[in-house]
């Protein structure tokens, strides 16, 4: 067994991820009322219940830490110890049953502003990904995760995580949707039902995914801190990068479009493709 699993903070993160997972499994495929925050941004009582049980458990076992959670506790306070939670990421995929690997539980912990634990659990496929700062990233109870840093853009599969509401699409994303699907772009460009956990397929070798581009308009944020914190730590501990379009490490509390890539070199290729791209409008 991986010795990291004895880390108390990681152990709690995994425990609460499995707790939320049980709620998700129970609700999958059931008749639920679908609620809409905005175009394409859906949720249900399953989101609410998964978050409720997780928050209650954390408050019982770690009452001294702040909790930031998507549905009920979205505000950031100045606390040295905080949990950052998305207890049902990929709600649209969950509600429309587009694939059992889409719904995920994202759990991260920060100490003094630094993410030190990240856990992603896919309850419907029973897959667990986790990382501890400086100790590496793993899948299951011991399989170490490592990116394939050899990808170049012209040979790559790039996933583009877009808004449900096209009016919120940024210039960066609009340019890249065109440029990447050209001779100067990637071999395969897709936009699946949005789910933050797709980055794990860049790490575990089950898919030949090389990069994910997330649109993120500061005027209507799509990727909040709870969508990114756990993913970022796991990707970076596996040797990948999460950067903005200035090639700086992405700040999860400052919304802007960003890239999750198997290498910094590939991220630079994507950034160059944006800079060189042109928007073509259909008349």
In residues, how long is the chain?
Answer: 283
Under a CB-based contact definition with an 8 Å cutoff, are residues 259 and 270 in contact?
yes
Spell out, as residue ranges, where the chain has pLDDT lower than 70. 1, 31-43, 73-74, 142, 278-283
pLDDT confidence of residue 142 = 65
Checking 135-141 for CB contacts under 8 A at 24+ apart, the result is 135/4, 135/237, 136/4, 136/237, 136/238, 137/203, 137/233, 137/234, 137/235, 137/237, 137/238, 138/2, 138/4, 139/200, 139/203, 139/204, 141/1, 141/2, 141/5
For the beta carbon of residue 218, count every other beta carbon within 10 angstroms: 10
Helices (H), 120-163: none
pLDDT in tens, 63-78: 999 999 987 766 777 7
Q: How many CA atoms lie within 13 A of 19 on its CB side?
A: 19
Residue 282 pLDDT:
40
Domains along the sequence of the chain with CATH: 3-144 (3.30.540.10), 153-276 (3.40.190.80)
Q: Are strands 209-214 and 258-261 parallel, antiparallel or unpaired?
A: antiparallel
Give the pTM. 0.93
| Residue-level pLDDT at 276 | 87
């Amino acid at each position: 067994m991986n010795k990291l699993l004895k880390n108390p903070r990681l152990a709690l993160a995994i425990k609460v991820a499995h707790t939320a997972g049980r709620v998700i499994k129970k609700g999958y495929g059931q008749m639920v009322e679908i609620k809409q925050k905005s175009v394409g941004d859906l949720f249900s009582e399953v989101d609410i219940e998964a978050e409720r049980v997780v928050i209650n458990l954390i408050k019982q076992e770690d009452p001294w830490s702040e909790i930031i959670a998507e549905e009920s506790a979205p505000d950031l306070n100045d606390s040295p110890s905080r949990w950052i939670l998305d207890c049902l990421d990929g709600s649209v995929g969950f509600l429309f049953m587009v694939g059992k690997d889409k719904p995920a539980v994202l759990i991260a912990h920060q100490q003094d502003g630094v993410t030190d634990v990240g856990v992603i659990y896919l309850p419907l496929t029973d897959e667990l990904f986790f990382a501890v700062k400086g100790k590496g990233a793993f899948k299951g109870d011991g399989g170490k995760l490592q990116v394939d840093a050899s990808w170049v853009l012209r040979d790559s599969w790039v996933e583009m995580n877009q808004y449900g509401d096209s009016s919120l699409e940024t210039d960066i994303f609009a340019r890249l949707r065109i440029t990447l699907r050209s001779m100067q772009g990637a071999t395969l460009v897709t936009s699946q039902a949005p789910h933050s956990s797709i980055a794990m397929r860049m790490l575990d070798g089950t898919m030949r995914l090389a990069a994910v581009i997330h649109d993120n308009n500061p005027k209507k944020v799509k990727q909040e801190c709870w969508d990114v914190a756990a993913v970022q730590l796991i990707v970076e501990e596996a040797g990948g990068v999460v950067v903005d379009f200035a090639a700086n490490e992405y700040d999860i509390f400052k919304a802007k479009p960003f890239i999750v890539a198997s290498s910094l070199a590939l991220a630079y290729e994507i950034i160059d493709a944006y800079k060189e791209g042109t928007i073509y409008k259909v008349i």
